[in-house]
């Protein structure tokens, strides 16, 4: 009987298998290592942020990070030039940076560009921070509200919060914590060479091509672990804003939001005082919807909004009540103060406010609108009718026949059947119409 070798020499067979596995184990591990290493994509995604930091900017950067991750891009380069922006939008961007699986490179460029205020936080939160020659970074001290200085306790809280925010970012990215905090507490601003010397940013690059060569081979830490960059020969692909993001960017301008809000008020009021016009009502509703969409992206001060609404009430009351212009004066003051206070600037690193020129134009046009346009419309509504049945009442005329009491009278050059309420009146008697019934005028003698 033939007995299998494995049964006859069980220990020997086991040893042979073990030896074979030991021989192939290094090969298996090498194969697994190659299989688990992500392939070099050869693509670098790039976007340009050349404006204030607002919700549209945050959305644009968020989408760019997602697309770069989906395309397995080597990194996302953000060419930055900003004077600052909103605090909440800045926090959203920093959060996206710190949780990004794709390396983020912020490149402050071109020459003459700045990463001021909110731009400091965004630059420091990147995996690699680079500046072009002739650029600067800094001045990130929070602003105060309006023209009045915020009380010291509140200002201290705001500054301490911003300082803690930038310390957290600097510690996470191994940057100079003291230098970064000075940008918040002392409004320190640095040139590109000073920023590199103080380890606030990593390096200087004259252009994007040189930047990609400088960072090639560097290893950075992302939310997915350590990543080594292969960017020297990578293809750069620019990601443009979507149409929706471009529209949101325009509407995030406080001046645009303010103008649409006032146009909405004008349109609705004009429609209310002139029912059936249709077009002003449609324009008013659309403008208000756009305005509210814009305002939800901005730090609105509801006290300012209430003052603007109160000014509209005062203008309307001045048309209806004999206030001798006092209500109009109050409306102008209320509108001006409300426009100045409409946005809360303490919610940003830079002042979010409406241009004085825009405020002046809106106040003048609003005053003219209510005093002349709406006022003329209301006075026209109060005028005595001049046509139809109502237009005949109270009008003077002359009896062209004897009124016994019926006869004929002439009013406005027209001959009417008439009945005298004062009894018989001879031909040629001046009369006045007081009532109309079935196209017959009832008249009385006109005392001269």
Lowest mean pLDDT segment, chosen from 88-92, 141-145, 191-195: 141-145
Could you tell me if 126 and 167 lie in one domain?
A: yes
**Number of domains present in the structure of the chain:** 4
Could you tell me if 42 and 129 lie in one domain?
A: yes
Could you tell me if 339 and 212 lie in one domain?
A: no
Query: According to the model, what pLDDT value does residue 36 have?
Result: 40
Lowest mean pLDDT segment, chosen from 43-57, 145-159, 238-252: 145-159
For residue 139, what pLDDT band results from cuts at 50, 70 and 90? Answer: confident
pLDDT tens, residue by residue, 336-377: 999 888 876 654 555 567 888 888 898 888 878 777 766 565
CATH number at residue 176: 3.90.226.10
Lowest mean pLDDT segment, chosen from 51-55, 153-157, 268-272, 402-406: 153-157
Which of 194, 211, 244 is where one domain is finished? 244
CATH number at residue 424: 2.40.50.140
pLDDT tens, residue by residue, 231-252: 998 999 999 988 888 888 888 8
For residue 317, what pLDDT band results from cuts at 50, 70 and 90? Answer: confident
Q: How far apart are CA 405 and CA 34, in angstroms?
A: 119
Could you tell me if 314 and 411 lie in one domain?
A: no
DSSP state of 85: B
Mean pLDDT across the stretch 250-279? 83
Helical residues (DSSP H) of 348-444, grouped into ranges: 356-368, 375-382, 388-392
Query: According to the model, what pLDDT value does residue 229 have?
Result: 95
Q: How far apart are CA 53 and CA 106, in angstroms?
A: 14
Q: Is the pLDDT of residue 42 over 70?
A: yes
Query: According to the model, what pLDDT value does residue 377 have?
Result: 57
Could you tell me if 149 and 257 lie in one domain?
A: no
Q: How far apart are CA 68 and CA 242, in angstroms?
A: 15
Which of 335, 357, 382 is where one domain is finished? 382
Could you tell me if 85 and 200 lie in one domain?
A: yes
Could you tell me if 413 and 400 lie in one domain?
A: yes
On average, the pLDDT of the chain sits at 81
Q: Is the pLDDT of residue 270 over 70?
A: yes
Could you tell me if 298 and 378 lie in one domain?
A: yes
Query: According to the model, what pLDDT value does residue 141 have?
Result: 77
Domain that holds residue 299: 253-382
pLDDT tens, residue by residue, 287-310: 999 988 888 777 788 888 899 989
pTM of structure: 0.68
Q: How far apart are CA 271 and CA 294, in angstroms?
A: 23
Q: How far apart are CA 120 and CA 289, in angstroms?
A: 34
Could you tell me if 306 and 395 lie in one domain?
A: no
Helical residues (DSSP H) of 109-218, grouped into ranges: 118-124, 152-172, 177-185, 192-197, 208-215
Higher pLDDT, 166 or 280: 166
Which of 185, 210, 244 is where one domain is finished? 244
Query: According to the model, what pLDDT value does residue 387 have?
Result: 53
Burial 139-157 (b: 16+ CB within 10 A, else e): bbbbbbbbeeebeeeebee
Query: According to the model, what pLDDT value does residue 329 have?
Result: 85
Could you tell me if 354 and 440 lie in one domain?
A: no
Could you tell me if 95 and 219 lie in one domain?
A: yes
Note whether 245 and 51 are within 8 A (CB): no
Query: According to the model, what pLDDT value does residue 1 have?
Result: 46
Could you tell me if 136 and 21 lie in one domain?
A: no
Q: Is the pLDDT of residue 150 over 60?
A: no
């Amino acid at each position: 009987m033939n007995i299998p070798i494995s049964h006859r020499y069980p220990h020997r067979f086991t040893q042979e298998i073990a030896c074979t596995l030991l021989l192939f184990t290094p090969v298996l591990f090498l194969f697994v290592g190659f299989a688990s290493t992500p392939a070099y994509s050869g693509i670098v995604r790039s976007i340009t942020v050349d404006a204030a930091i607002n919700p549209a900017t945050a959305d644009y950067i968020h989408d760019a990070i997602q697309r770069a991750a989906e395309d397995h891009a080597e990194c996302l380069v953000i060419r930055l030039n900003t004077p600052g922006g909103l605090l909440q939008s800045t926090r959203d961007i920093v959060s996206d940076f710190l949780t990004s699986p794709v390396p983020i490179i912020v490149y402050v460029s071109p020459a003459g560009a700045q990463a001021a205020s909110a731009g400091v936080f965004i630059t420091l939160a990147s995996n690699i921070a680079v500046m072009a020659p002739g650029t600067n970074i800094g001045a990130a001290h929070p602003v105060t509200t309006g023209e009045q200085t915020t009380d010291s306790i509140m200002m201290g809280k705001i500054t301490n919060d911003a300082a803690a925010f930038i310390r957290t970012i600097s510690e996470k990215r191994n940057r100079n914590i003291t230098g970064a905090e000075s940008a918040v507490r002392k409004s320190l601003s640095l040139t590109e060479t000073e920023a590199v010397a103080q380890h606030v940013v990593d390096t200087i690059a004259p252009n994007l091509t040189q930047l990609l060569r400088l960072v090639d081979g560097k290893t950075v830490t992302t939310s997915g672990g350590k990543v080594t960059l292969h960017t020297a020969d990578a293809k750069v692909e620019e990601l443009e804003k979507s149409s929706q993001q471009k529209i949101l960017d325009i509407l995030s301008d406080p001046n645009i939001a303010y103008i649409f809000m006032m146009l909405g008020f004008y349109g609705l009021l004009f429609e209310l005082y002139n029912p059936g016009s249709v077009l002003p009502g449609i324009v008013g509703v659309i403008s208000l919807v756009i305005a509210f969409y814009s305002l939800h992206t901005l730090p609105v001060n509801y006290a300012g909004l209430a003052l603007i609404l109160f000014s509209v009430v005062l203008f309307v009351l001045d048309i209806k009540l004999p206030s001798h212009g006092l209500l109009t004066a109050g409306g102008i003051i209320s509108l001006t103060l409300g426009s100045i206070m409409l946005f809360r600037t303490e919610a940003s690193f830079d002042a979010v406010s409406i241009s004085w020129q825009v405020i002046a134009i809106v106040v003048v046009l609003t005053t003219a609108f209510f005093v002349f346009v709406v006022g003329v419309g209301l006075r026209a509504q109060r005028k005595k009718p001049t046509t139809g049945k109502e237009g005949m009442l109270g009008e003077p005329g002359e009896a062209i026949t004897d009124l016994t009491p019926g006869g004929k009278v002439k009013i406005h050059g027209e001959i009417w059947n008439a009945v005298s309420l004062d009894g018989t009146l001879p031909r040629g008697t001046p009369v006045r119409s007081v009532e109309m019934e079935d196209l017959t005028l009832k008249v009385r003698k006109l005392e001269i």
